[in-house]
Structure 1
Amino acid sequence: MFNKYVIISPSLWWDDGSLLKYAPQTLSVHQKQTDVYIGVGKEGLAPSTIPHVMEVDANLLVEKLRKLDNKNLQVHYDYLPAEDHATITHQAVFNALRLLYPLKDK
């Protein structure tokens, strides 16, 4: 559907981890060049019945996406240990935009 995705501080524990199950399948069929930026900070435990550390779940998503046999999929992982769920947005959006839309040489 899109060719650039920005995922920041993802709540991958939501809906019994359905995003970890289905996101890789969805992105495996992309025929166009697709970039995925995943930014996560020092998040701590997610509010679920089985405790999940958000940065661990983000790493699992990165691993699953990188294992896909799709040469058109680029996965960019950005760990921001100085940020948390409340503070990560501005820095991660800045990093994602700079990475996905680099300045062209004049």
Structure 2
Amino acid sequence: MSAAPEATAGKAASAAAASCYINNVSGTTLNLRGGAGTRYSVVGTLAKGARLPCGSLGQGSATGQTYTACGGTANDWKTVRLNGRDAWVAAECVALSA
């Protein structure tokens, strides 16, 4: 197996993350958390109407909560990039855009 397909997939994933944004459509300031769940500490906020770049691509679960970065199904949490690292926001409060 050659390394080329993995390198190509990695570049595509990076490009998708770079063009994806999480938009606050909740009508209020949202808490950004250190993990996928309300039991994680607040690491920042996202103002009403503001947007941040999507976080790391992929899907996973943490403490029984599901999360996804860009796209996917109706998961509980989405990741955003905040100060160079991932943070989590409730999926029901945000919308994705390019």
TM over 0.5, shorter chain: no
Structure having the larger proportion of residues in strand: 2
Q: Answer 1 or 2: which has greater helix percent.
A: 1
User: TM-score, with normalisation over the residues of structure 1?
Assistant: 0.26
Q: Which has the higher contact order (CA 8 A, sep 6+)?
A: 1
